[in-house]
């Protein structure tokens, strides 16, 4: 259940990153570094809000800034449920 949810979250974040950058979706994996992807801080915040709405969790505003990879984001979202 947790794995499935983790994949859902990773997939959701990948799509949101693609919407905001020129990066090809195939180049974004669960191990991709958020820092290297080069998202702007505003994009990071807005994606955090979208995660909160989509998965009905309370997201810590610093979560995306503190997480190194998409996988780590997913783990923190699951932990906050």
Considering only 46, 71, 75, 80, the residue that binds another protein (CB under 8 A) is 46
Of the candidates 45, 46, 16, the residue with the CA atom closest to the CA atom of residue 32:
16
Matching residue, tokens 């990773």: 10
Q: For residues 71 and 6, is the Cβ–Cβ distance under 8 A?
A: yes
Both tokens assigned to 78: 């699951």
37 lines the binding site for another protein (CB under 8 A): no
Instruction: Give least dist CB 26 to another protein, A.
Output: 28
Q: Is 22 in the site for another protein (CB under 8 A)?
A: no
Binding of another protein by 25 (CB under 8 A): no
* # residues near another protein by CB under 8 A: 13
């Amino acid at each position: 259940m947790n794995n499935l949810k983790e994949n859902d979250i990773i997939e959701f974040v990948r799509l949101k990153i693609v919407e905001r950058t020129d990066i090809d979706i195939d180049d974004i994996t669960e191990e991709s570094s958020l820092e290297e992807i080069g998202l702007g801080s505003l994009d990071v915040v807005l994606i955090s809000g979208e995660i909160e709405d989509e998965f009905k969790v309370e997201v810590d505003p610093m979560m995306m800034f503190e997480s190194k990879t998409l996988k780590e984001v997913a783990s923190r979202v699951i932990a906050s449920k």
